[in-house]
Amino acid sequence: MHDQTSPSSVQRASPDHDPACPVSIHDLTVAYHRRPVLWDIDYAGPEGQLIGIVGPNGAGKSTLIKACLNLVPIASGSVSFYGKPYRQQRRLVGYVPQRESVDWDFPASVLDVVTMGRYGRLPWCLPPTREDRRVALHCLEQVGMADYARRQISRLSGGQQQRVFLARALAQDARIYFMDEPFAGVDAATETAIVGILRELRARGRTVLIVHHDLQTVAEYFNHVILLNMRIIAAGPTAQVFTQENLQKTYGGRLTLLDKAAQAMALNGNR
């Protein structure tokens, strides 16, 4: 339903807050300690696609996701979801953080963690209902972890933890998902399970943006891709964008001028 027919592989035309566009990022710049890590990101995500975010370490992939979700402050620019800012669209957006971002020794069962995906639908101070737990259990079934529902989360393998996080995102029942390296450090069985879930999400018309590291599998897993290295190098359908030439641009060294400018801003910046 989006401008997939656009001949340009690089979608630069920003449809300002287009209500049909699941994620539109308009001229986004993000800085840590005044040092910009993302420059002038313009992107309009097509609906119902699996979109890989690919780039070298330090390219700002996780930062891009966090900026979209208001988790890091934005220096300039804006992000909208179906035409409205994030605050108004929380329910439509699901998030899978990196597995290492939480303490797995936390005293909770697998089902407890998956049920947290439902918390966004609950008013303050009210506990999850039986229905929420039922949905959570169903989501655990979908990732093949129903047998582990009562297990303490520290007694899971890395792949199982990742599947629990995925089940939690499914419990959010969102229309747009952001996933930060869901494939990092998982076993082959989990990787297959995750790919299956992603394809099902796509079949149900969900839009998924996924930070990904393994270039080998990009073409197989994602039908859209964003090549990122502090700026968007190219974005669009994988077949058109994921080319040797674009990869060269993404990985073959940064624009040194960007680095120098960022450095100068970090050293002499005056906010």
270 binds another protein (CB under 8 A): no
106 binds another protein (CB under 8 A): yes
DSSP string of 124-184, one letter each residue: TTPPP-HHHHHHHHHHHHHTT-GGGTTSBGGGS-HHHHHHHHHHHHHHH--SEEEEE-TTT
126 binds another protein (CB under 8 A): yes
Interacting span for another protein (CB under 8 A) from 16-24, 116-124, 139-147, 248-256: 116-124
Spatial CA neighbour of 115 closest among 162, 170, 197, 194: 170
Interacting span for another protein (CB under 8 A) from 43-51, 62-70, 185-193, 220-228: 62-70
97 binds another protein (CB under 8 A): yes
173 binds another protein (CB under 8 A): no
152 binds another protein (CB under 8 A): yes
Min CB(115)–another protein separation in Å: 9
Q: CB neighbours (10 Å) of residue 158? A: 15
User: What tokens were used for 67?
Assistant: 């900026």
Spatial CA neighbour of 38 closest among 75, 92, 79: 75
111 binds another protein (CB under 8 A): no
Euclidean distance between CA atoms 108 and 75, whole angstroms? 37
Spatial CA neighbour of 78 closest among 142, 161, 14: 14
Helix (H) or strand (E) holding 50: strand 50-54
Min CB(164)–another protein separation in Å: 12
Min CB(198)–another protein separation in Å: 19
| Residues at the site binding another protein, with contacts judged by CB under 8 A | 66, 69-71, 90, 93, 95, 97, 101-103, 106-109, 112-113, 116, 119-120, 122, 124-128, 152, 154, 168
